[in-house]
Chain A
Amino acid sequence: MSMISHLFSIRATTCLTRNILRATPIRLLSSASSSPNKTTNANDHILPKELPSSEKRKAKFNISWKTVSVTFIGAASLIAFIYYLDQRKMQKRKVLQRAAVGKMAIGGPFSLITHERKPVTDKDFRGQWLLIYFGFTHCPDICPEELEKLSEITDLLRRDKSTQKNPFQPVFVSVDPERDTPELVSTYIKDYSPHFIGLTGTREQVAEMCKHYRVYFSQGPKVGDDYIVDHAIIMYLINPNGEFVDYYGRNKNAKEVAYAIEQHMNAFKESNK
């Protein structure tokens, strides 16, 4: 709506300008035309109050059209620039809105061990952007798909060297602690990216983290010793302050997620200058 009011105000300015200029050319041209007519016209000494109608028409077209088109071009570029700024502001606002909504309810402390058997907590990841995916190694199709996506996102975000101050760290957390030992997780994630960190732990540790992240997971019916774990398929974005910022489901592809994360990274950089 603000765009329309902008347009109207500029049209009004253009109209006003045109009307003002219509008044001036008469005075300007009359002083010019009086000199060539001096020697020939008897009524010359009297400054004509009005130009003959044909001259008047010519005067209007000569000056006001040029000025109007210049004003128009100026107005059009001004509108385009305002529109561009408006769009950028809207985009930034959208991204920050999502961040604000999510911050309240999701995330929290966790204490697990990495695929290299190193104990870690959420505090060890401060200063990094985390994208956390919850899954399990015996997953038939969804986890491999999502981990391929996570690998692609990682490559896209690590391309930009400017993010090095707060590096991007993809994390895989197992929701199948009974089977997923650190060694198993290590073998599994290496197939997707050398940059992944895999986390696992005791059932209590995993359950605790899933409670904070509102991640649903449930062991399915057993066939012999085997079973499939039903779980939420979401990637969670955590900022360098350890705060939950955004989440991404199966409906977004790698490029879309990487782009969204970049917006958050830029917003974070801006607010922490």
Chain B
Amino acid sequence: MSVIDKKYREKCWLTRDDYWKCLDTNKEEKEKCLQLRQLFESSCPATWVTHFDQKREYDIFKRQLALGEVETDKLKSIKGPSKP
């Protein structure tokens, strides 16, 4: 079974969602969700795992930005050097 198969894709997404739900309830503490993480990693190709990890980081950052929870240092490093 590979990513071309719809059932494979759906199983991968399901394990990803379960893992993410665990992280939601455990305030991003990865140690508490190790089993689900393993299941997720075995159900999806490595490139997809990396992709979804990056997506999660980005989504959390976006949410924090919207809520104004991001520290100014972090913002500065993302904005880059200030333009004249």
Contacts and interface: CB of A to CB of B under 8 A. Distances in A.
B51 interface: yes
A97 interface: no
A226 B47 contact: yes
A137 B4 contact: yes
Contacts of A144: 9
A138 B3 contact: yes
Nearest to B50: A223
A141 interface: yes
Interface in A100-139: 137-138
Given A140-B52, A141-B13, A227 B47 contact: yes
B49 to A, nearest CB: 9
Interface size class of A (residues with CB under 8 A): 10 to 19
A138 B52 CA distance: 14
Contacts of A224: 46
A44 to B, nearest CB: 88
A188 B4 contact: yes
Contacts of A223: 45-47, 50
A128 B51 CA distance: 37
Among B13, B46, B47, B51, chain A packs the most CB atoms within 10 A around the CB of B47
A191 interface: yes
A188 B2 CA distance: 11
Given A141-B13, A144-B9, A187 B48 contact: no
Contacts of B9: 144
B48 A140 contact: yes
Interface in B21-64: 44-48, 50-52, 55
B37 to A, nearest CB: 17
25 contacts: A137-B3, A137-B4, A138-B4, A138-B45, A138-B47, A140-B44, A140-B48, A140-B51, A140-B52, A141-B13, A141-B51, A141-B52, A141-B55, A188-B4, A191-B6, A220-B47, A223-B45, A223-B47, A223-B50, A224-B46, A226-B45, A226-B46, A227-B47, A228-B47, A228-B48
Closest 8 CB pairs of A and B: A191-B6, A140-B48, A226-B47, A223-B46, A140-B51, A223-B47, A228-B47, A138-B3
